[in-house]
Amino acid sequence: MPTPRCVDADTIRAVLKRDDVRGLWPHELSAEVAGLFGEAFAALLAPSGAGASAPVVVVGHDARIGSLELGLAFCRGLRQRGAEAVWLGLVSTEQVYYLTGRYPERYAGGAMITASHNPKEYNGIKFVRAGAR
């Protein structure tokens, strides 16, 4: 059983946006928070039924300071909930989208650690499901 975490709901609400996760790094979007989102994504992608295999998630990051730390924490969260993480390292968002779109039978989803066009103080997580949905 995972160890309970002490991240308050206001912190989660601050970084959870309509289409992604974004916040000031490391004050709002810390490694601990990224790990929790990894756990949540694994739970969302978990297959139901006996004999179902663990979801496989591709994870990449951009060159922002903190992206590597957040990506590794996200992967730990995935594994904490039984998902398999395929670490891509430093890649573009399109590469994560391509893999999940081209190989939907292999990858249940993907995550890109990036804050895209936000100021450098920010970081974030973009999520995609199999088939690049």
Which residues are tagged catalytic? 116
Determine contact, residues 69/76, Cβ cutoff 8 Å: no
CA dist., res. 130 & res. 133, Å (int): 6
Residue 45 CB partners (closer than 8 Å, separation 6+): 55, 57, 83, 108, 109, 129
